[in-house]
């Protein structure tokens, strides 16, 4: 169920009415609402989700007893096995067929008919984080299986994040009955929901057919066309994914809750470390806290640190999808992060630290790293690894930046980057701009502008509705 559909709007409004009318019944209300939201993906998917939720919850009850270590690893293994079965089994078998030149799956095999449950990657990671945090006594187990279900399945963040932690979200679930109606929260909710819908239906969905057209002929794209395709996809996936995250923030504010911020204008990053602090922030933090640090982090020397970093980023790539292109995408960022660490060491030894204060250096770093990011997006977007590498090879040729005949698309890409900078400015100065907006624009003028924005969005919503890119993960 998409956020920008009449069905979801109806579900949200009905849920809000009951939520504020019956404060003591908020856990049951959200329990039912979350089930209704998810059952659209299929009854079987809902039953699987309920089963994994109940299993994880009751295992977590054993994390404070004498067999806590057993319950921890048993529950993590089952959660990971569930994800592997639905997401990676066919990929692994097909890879084995290719490696060993054998036929392991018939065309009508049962495994080929399995559909990936929506949101399974997100709720699996959230369950694992919860189990580890309870085991390490960072947080107490949920009060009941219903509290845990609402924590895991709250429809605002269920399908594509943000990935919430117990310490961030469970206190809000435990204190649902204390939440009071707040016009300030509703204004924030309306702002983020409107911003998200705008990003999705006006920007991301506008770019979709152009991106699809370019990548439908990957094998014949010139180097210049490859760059244009990568530029457009970079902004399509950003607007699409950040739209979902901001709509999720808005919906949570309507219910008096607060979700984690997932994006901070990532294409203004100067290096891979900064990029992953700005892009899919909750996944980056999850990978750091539950993969990189447990592997040893930076505690055992530089070689071990770089190895741990490479492994963590590779796992991040694998999490995104069952394809060698996603594996390569994760490895690419692992290598980038390692090279960046080495670059910092060399820069310090050469006494070049002063460059960080130079606006020219920072500008060049942003431009260069944006293009490196676009190369990575080719790995992410193209279906076959050989096709992706071939296109990247053409993009790296000396004549690849001759955009004759593509200047309109290049202009669109530049405009989108300028819009990215404007978004950074608006977020950075949001509080001051809000005061300025309400001070200098009277309520009637604001009402007219809000109405105009709503009318424009409604017109766009009447068109074809594309699903969110990250729903496939």
Asked whether the beta carbons of 388 and 379 are under 8 A apart, the reply is yes
Query: Can you say whether residue 204 is alpha, beta or left, with left for phi > 0 and alpha for psi between -120 and 50 degrees?
Result: alpha
Asked whether the beta carbons of 364 and 271 are under 8 A apart, the reply is no
4 flagged as catalytic: no
Neighbouring C-beta atoms of residue 145, cutoff 10 Å: 17
Q: Which entry of 320, 340, 402, 427 is annotated as an active-site residue?
A: 320
Asked whether the beta carbons of 61 and 67 are under 8 A apart, the reply is no
Measured CA distances, 345 to 11, 91, 340, 342, 351 (Å): 54, 39, 9, 5, 10
| Among candidate residues 45, 135, 108, the one with its CA nearest the CA of residue 82 | 45
Helices (H) and strands (E) in the chain, counts: 20, 0
Q: State which H helix or E strand residue 28 sits in.
A: helix 26-39
Query: Can you say whether residue 104 is alpha, beta or left, with left for phi > 0 and alpha for psi between -120 and 50 degrees?
Result: alpha
DSSP per-residue letters across 168-217? HHHHHHHTGGG----HHHHHHHHHHHHHHHIIIIIIIHHHHHHHHHHHTT
Asked whether the beta carbons of 155 and 34 are under 8 A apart, the reply is yes
Burial class of 435 by CB neighbour count within 10 A (0 to 12, 13 to 18, 19+): exposed
Burial class of 144 by CB neighbour count within 10 A (0 to 12, 13 to 18, 19+): exposed
- Is residue 467 classed as helix, strand or coil in its secondary structure? coil
Asked whether the beta carbons of 325 and 338 are under 8 A apart, the reply is no
Give catalytic residue positions: 320
């Amino acid at each position: 169920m998409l956020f920008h559909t009449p069905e979801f709007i109806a579900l949200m409004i009905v849920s809000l009415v009951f939520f504020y009318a019956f404060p003591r019944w908020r856990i049951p209300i959200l329990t039912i609402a979350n089930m209704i939201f998810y059952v659209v993906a299929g009854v079987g998917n809902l039953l699987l989700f309920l089963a994994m939720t109940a299993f994880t919850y009751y295992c977590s009850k054993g994390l404070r007893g004498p067999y806590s270590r057993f319950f921890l690893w048993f529950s993590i293994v089952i959660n990971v096995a569930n994800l592997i079965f639905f997401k990676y089994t066919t990929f692994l078998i097909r890879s084995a067929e290719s490696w060993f030149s054998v036929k392991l799956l018939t065309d009508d095999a049962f495994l080929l008919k399995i559909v990936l449950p929506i949101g399974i990657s997100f709720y699996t990671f959230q369950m694992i984080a919860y189990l580890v945090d309870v085991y390490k006594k960072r947080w107490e187990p949920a009060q009941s299986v219903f509290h845990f279900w609402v924590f895991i399945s709250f429809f605002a963040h269920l399908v594509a994040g943000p990935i919430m932690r117990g310490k961030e979200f469970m206190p809000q679930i435990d204190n649902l009955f204390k939440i009071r109606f707040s016009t300030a929260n509703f204004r924030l909710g309306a702002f983020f929901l409107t911003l998200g819908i705008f990003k999705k239906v006006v920007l991301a969905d506008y770019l979709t057919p152009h991106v699809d057209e370019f990548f439908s002929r990957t094998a014949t794209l010139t180097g210049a066309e490859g760059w244009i395709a990568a530029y457009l996809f970079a902004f399509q996936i950003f607007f699409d994914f950040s739209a979902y995250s901001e709509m999720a923030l808005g919906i949570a504010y309507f219910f008096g809750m607060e979700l984690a911020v997932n994006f901070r204008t990532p294409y203004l990053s100067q290096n891979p470390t900064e990029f992953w602090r700005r892009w899919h922030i909750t996944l980056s933090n999850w990978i750091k806290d539950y993969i990189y640090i447990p592997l040893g982090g930076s505690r055992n020397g530089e070689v071990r640190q770089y190895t741990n970093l490479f492994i963590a980023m590779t796992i991040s790539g694998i999490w995104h999808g069952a394809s060698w292109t996603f594996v390569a995408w994760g490895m690419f960022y692992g290598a980038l992060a390692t090279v960046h660490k080495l670059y910092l060491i060399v820069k310090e030894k050469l006494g070049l630290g002063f460059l960080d204060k130079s606006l020219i250096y920072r500008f060049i770093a942003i431009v260069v790293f944006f293009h490196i990011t676009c190369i990575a997006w080719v790995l992410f977007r193209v279906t076959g690894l050989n096709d992706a590498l071939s296109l990247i090879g053409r993009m790296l040729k000396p004549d690849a930046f001759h955009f004759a005949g593509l200047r309109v698309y290049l202009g669109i890409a530049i405009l989108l980057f300028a819009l990215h900078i404007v978004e950074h400015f608006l977020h950075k100065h949001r509080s001051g701009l809000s005061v300025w907006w309400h001070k200098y624009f009277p309520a009637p003028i604001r009402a007219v502008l809000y109405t105009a924005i709503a009318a424009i969005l409604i017109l766009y919503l009447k068109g074809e509705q594309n699903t969110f890119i990250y729903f496939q993960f």
